[in-house]
Amino acid sequence: MTTRIQYTFLLIAILQTLHSLEEYAFELWEHLAPARFLSGLVSDDLSLGFAIINLGIIAAAFWCYFVPVRNGGSGALSVVWFWAMLETLNGIGHIGFGLFSGGYFPGLYTAPFLFLAGSFLVVQLFRSQDAT
């Protein structure tokens, strides 16, 4: 796994952190039924449940960077592919919700950055496969 792929993955973890903060600040759970449902599974206080879920996502992203991705352990490539696709689709989803709603949708400001970083990581992964 190249250093560029590792650093792009780290960028995605950082961008996901910013994205989660934006979603929390603008109360995504009030606008998206699945977020409300999942938050309610964690806590009766939906804002707390949403925060706990997002802290888990952020922790998972950084754990993936520091353990399998940075160390190049077994399964690292699968982990990177998973996050690259997840964040690319996350970015597309938020942009789509913004277009569909005709205005701002929580997470829209950081969504283009997630989409670009995820797409860039996908391109890097394809290029690294071609090089082997």
Note the pLDDT tens digit of each residue in 33-72: 999 999 999 999 999 999 999 999 999 999 999 999 999 8
- Which tokens hold the place of 35? 């977020």
What distances in angstroms separate CA 43 from CA 21, 35, 88, 128, one per listed residue? 18, 12, 29, 43
Mean per-residue pLDDT, 9-19: 98
d(CA 11, CA 115): 12
pLDDT band at 86 (very low <50, low <70, confident <90, very high): very high
Q: Give the model's pLDDT for residue 49.
A: 98
Q: Give the model's pLDDT for residue 9.
A: 98
d(CA 94, CA 69): 26
pTM: 0.94
d(CA 16, CA 51): 13
pLDDT(130) > 80: no
pLDDT(132) > 70: no
pLDDT band at 129 (very low <50, low <70, confident <90, very high): confident
- Nearest CA to 13 among 81, 82, 83? 83
Note the pLDDT tens digit of each residue in 88-127: 999 999 999 999 999 999 999 999 999 999 999 999 999 9
Q: Give the model's pLDDT for residue 72.
A: 87
